[in-house]
Amino acid sequence: MTTSRFVHTRLLVALALGAFLPSAASGTDLSSQKLFGRWVAYPANFFLGLTRGSLALTEKWAVVASNQASDRGPSSEGALQVFDARTGAWVRRIYPPLPNGNYQFGYAVAVSGDLALVGAPIVNSSFGAAYLVDLQIGRVLRTLTGPGIGSPVGFAYSVAIGGDTLAVGAPLEATGDGAIYLFRRSSGAFLAKFSPPVAGTAEAYGQSLAIDGTILAVGASKANANRGAVYFYDTVSGLLIERYQPLASAAGDRVGETLAMHRGYTVLGTAPGGSAGAFLYNPVTGFGAALTPPGVPTNTYGDSVAVHGSLIAVGEPRFGLAGGAVHLFRTETGVHLETVRPPLNPESPVEFGTAVALHQNNLLASAPADDIQAPDSGAAFLLRPFTQPMLATKAIAQGDAAPTFPDVSVGRIGDAFINSEGETAFVTSLSGGGSNLGRDLGAVSEVTGRGTFTMPVKSRQSLGARVVTVGPVTMNDSDTVVGLATVSGPGLVAPANQLIWYQASGSFAILAASGQGSLLPGGGKSAALPECVTSNQFGQRYCGFMLTLKPEAATGTTLNNDSGLVFVKLLSSFDGVREGLAAPAPVGAEYGQFAPRISWFYDRIVFSTALRNGGVTAATNAAVFAGPYLAAPTLIAQKGDLAVDATGGVLPGEAYSTFVGETSFRSGATCYRALLGAVPVSRNDGIWRLSSDGATRRRLIRKGDLVGNPAGLVTRIHGFWPVGSDQLLAWVTVAGPGITASNDQVLVLIQSDLVPTSLMQEGSVAPGCGETARIGTILRVEVDGWTGAYAVLASLSNASPTNNLALFTGNTGRGNLTNQQALRRPQLRLRKGQLFTNQPGALRSISLPAANRPASGAGGTGRGRAISWDGDLTFVAEFDNGVRQVMRGTAD
C-alpha cells in the first residue's frame, strides 16, 4: 500500500509530539473504536496484529502485538501495544528485555489478570523464549526457556495461561513431532513436558494451545497427513482425556492450526485451503459441529478463532477483496449469527480478522494491512456489544397477572421448582387490590400444562379452614403438584394447624389436614404435618408425608402410636406405617416414634424410626428402612451395627448411634447418614451406601477424610446427593494446613471407585470467569440424582460488584473414572452483569432453591427440585431494572 508524502510527514510530526491519537474522553462512541499503536519510529511494515495469536482481550486489557515491529532499530524485534479494554485508550508500549533483531516478541500472547505471557519463538537462533510481563507497569518479570532444548524448536510459538499454569508450545521439537512445556505462573518453576503419544509422527504438536479451567487443549495441525488433531488433558492429573479429530475433517485441513476454548466449548481453526475452515467441539458434552458461514468462504476462513460466553468469532482476512471479515456464531449451537466487516471502509484491503479475540460481548479484531499510520502499519478494531439471547426463557415474572384469582399480580417469587415436563411451581407473595395489601401468598404452578398457570391455593382462601400461609410446594412428577399450607380455625393451634393439598391432572383435593381423619392404619385425627415429598417416577403421582396424630381416647391414639408415614398414589391408592405396629425387623420389634422426614426417589421410599420391644435395647433402638410402594420395608441399618470403611471392612468399636438423614440412588441402593458412638468428634459423622440387594455396604465419605486441592480434612457435611447408580456428590467444609475461611468449602464427587474428586473449591479460579476471579462462597447446590446434572451458585471474589455472582453447571456422569475427571467439573453458565437481547436488563441476581433439603443435608428426597431428571433447569433471575422472573432452560 502507498501513503502520500504529506501523510508520512504528518504522522512523523504527530509521533514526535506524542499526539498520535486522541485520548478517550466523555462523549466517545465506545461501540466501535479503531486502535493504533503508538510508536517511536515510523511504523511502516510493522503489521500490528499480524499473527493469529497476536491479540488478547480481557475485561481490563486489550493487547495487540506486532512481532514485526522495529521500533528501537533492530529488525522484527517486536512489541506490545496495550490498551484499556473499557475505554479503548492507549496505555503503554512494551518491548522485549534487550534490543535484538528478529526477536519476534509478540508472536503469541495470552493474558491473565495483569499478566501477559508473550511468545518470541525466533529469539536465540530460533530456540525461542516466553516472557511473563506485568501489563500495569510494562515490565518483563520472568523469562522462560525450554529446559534441555538443544536445537531450534520454535519454543513459544504458542502460549496459554490457566490458573497458576503457564503453557508454552514448541511445535518443531523432535524433528517436528512437537512438545509443550508447563510452568508454574507464581514462581516460573518448570512443571512438566508433554509430547505426542506416538513419536516420529511430525504432527506439530503444540502448534496451538488453549486452557479453560482444568482442561488443556493442544493443537497438532500436521497429524495424520496434515488432517490435524487436538489433544485434551486434565491439568490437575496431567492425564490425556482424549485425542479429537472432527469426523468431517480431511487430509490437508490441518485442524488445530488455531485454537480457542471457553466453558468447554473449543473452536478449532484450520490452515488456508482446508475443507471446512473451522469446527466446534465440546469435550465435556461431546457436542460438535462444523462452523459454516453463508456463501462460499475464501481459503483464509478459519485463520483465526476465538470464543467467549455465547459468542464464537472466526476470522476470514481475505474476505471481500481483502477487506476481511469476522463471522460470529452461537457457541451452544454453532449457528451463524452475523458477519462483521471492518467499520468505516469495509472494502479497504486491511485484512480485518487476521487475528481475533473475544471477551463477553466484545470483539477485538486486527487489520495488519491497515495503512492509515504508514504502509502496512496495521491497526485493530474494538467492537461492542454483540449481545445474544439468554438460553433460558421467561416462564412468568413479578408483576404479571396472577392466575385464578381476580385483581392480584405476582409479587416476590420464592423458590422455583421444575418437573420433567418443564412445568414450574413456586410460592409467591401477591400484589394488587385482591392481595390484602400485599400480605397474601399464593402457590402457582403449570400443573395443567406448560405455559398455563394456575393458583390452586391462596391466603384467605377457604379450604375447610381459612388459609393463612402457603408453601412449600413440591413438583417432581408430570402434571402433579403437592403443597403445604397453614390454616386458622377453631381448635387449630400451631403446629397442629396444617393441611396438605394436591393438584393432579386438573383435580384438586385436600390430602390431609389437622383435625381431620388420617390415612394411617388404625385411623386417628391428624395433628402436625411436618414433611411432604413427591417421587420423580414418571406418571405415578407418588406422594409421601409424615404426620403426628392427636391423642384421644375415641380413636385409640396415645403417645405410643401417634406418629406415622403415609404413602399415596394420588387418584388411586394409599399405604402407610404407624408407630406401635410390628416392624419388619428385628423379630418382635415395633416401630417407635418416626423421624420427622421421609425420602421418595423414583420407586424407593426411605425412612428412619425408633424401635421398641422384641429385645430392643437403648443401644439398638433406632433403624433405617427402605422399600418400594406397597411392599414391606427392608431393614437397611440399625443402631448398634458396626460401621464399615470404603472397602466394606468392619470397623471394630465404631457403631451407629444416631441416624441423621436418608435418601436413595437411581439403582435402588440406599444412602444414609449416621453419627458414630465412642468415636472422636473429628470422625463421628459419615455417609454410607447399601446396595439394592443388601449385599454390599460401603462408606462413601466421613469426617476426617482428606479431600480438596489444597487438601483438608472434612470437618462438616453440609449436603449430600446420591447421583447415578453409585456416586455421591457432597458439599463439605475442610480444615488443615493452608486452609482458611476463604477456601474451606469443597464440592466433592465420590466416584464409583470411591475415589474423591474435587469439583469446586472456594478460593479456586472461577471457571470461565477470567483468571483473576475466584470462587468466593458456595451459596447453593442443586442436583438431579438420576442424570447427575448439577448446578452451583457461588459468589466471586476478586471481581467487581457488578459481576461477582455466577451460576455454574456440570454433570457427574461425564467421562470415565481414570482420566476424564475434568469433564465432570462445572462450567460457567451465567454471570451477574451479563446482557441479553431477550431479557429486560443486565442480570443482577440469580436464585436457586434455599429450602429444598432437610436439616440432615440429604438431597433427592422428594422435596421440590430446580433440575428435573429430563435435564430441565429453573432459577429465579433478577435484572438491574428490578424485574424478577422465573426462568426455564436446560441444565447443560
Domain borders along the chain are: 5-383
Instruction: Give the span between the Cα atoms of 605 and 629, in whole angstroms.
Output: 7
Beta bridge partners of 439: none
Q: What is the mean pLDDT of residues 99-109?
A: 92
Question: Quick check: pTM over 0.85?
Answer: yes
Question: pLDDT tens digit string along 550-564?
Answer: 999 999 999 999 999
Predicted local distance difference test score (pLDDT) of residue 446: 95
Q: For residue 156, which phi and psi values (nearest 5 degrees)?
A: 80, 20
Cα separation, 745 vs 778, whole angstroms: 7
Name which of 20-24, 103-107, 197-201, 385-389 the model is least confident about: 20-24
- Indicate if the pLDDT at residue 26 is higher than 80: no
* Interval 824-840 mean pLDDT: 95
Beta bridge pairs of residue 231: 218, 243
| Beta-bridge mates of residue 635 | 625
Among 585, 575, 466, smallest CA distance to 514 is for 466
Percentage, residues of the chain above pLDDT 70: 97
Average pLDDT of the residues in 42-64:
97
With beta carbons less than 8 A apart as the criterion, state whether 819 and 239 touch. yes
Higher-scoring residue by pLDDT: 341, 152: 341
User: What is the spatial distance between Cα 387 and Cα 803, in angstroms, rounded to a whole number?
Assistant: 16
Instruction: Give the pLDDT of residue 145.
Output: 94
Which residue in the block uniquely carries the three cell numbers 454453532?
334
484-501 burial, b for 16+ CB within 10 Å, e for fewer? bbbbeeeebeeebbbbbb
Write the CA distances from 453 to 266, 433, 442, 708, 775, integer angstroms: 40, 20, 12, 44, 37
What number of residues does the chain have?
892
pLDDT above 60: residue 7: no
Burial class (CB in 10 A: 0-12, 13-18, 19+), 800: exposed
CA geometry: angle 395, 399, 400, nearest 5 deg: 50
Domain 5-383 has CATH 3.40.50.300: no
pLDDT at residue 2 in the model: 33
Type of residue numbered 730: A
Instruction: Count Cβ atoms within 10 A of the Cβ of residue 627 and give its class: 0-12 exposed, 13-18 middle, 19 or more buried.
Output: buried
Judged against a pLDDT cut of 80, whether residue 641 lies above it is answered with yes
pLDDT cut 90: percent of the chain above it: 88
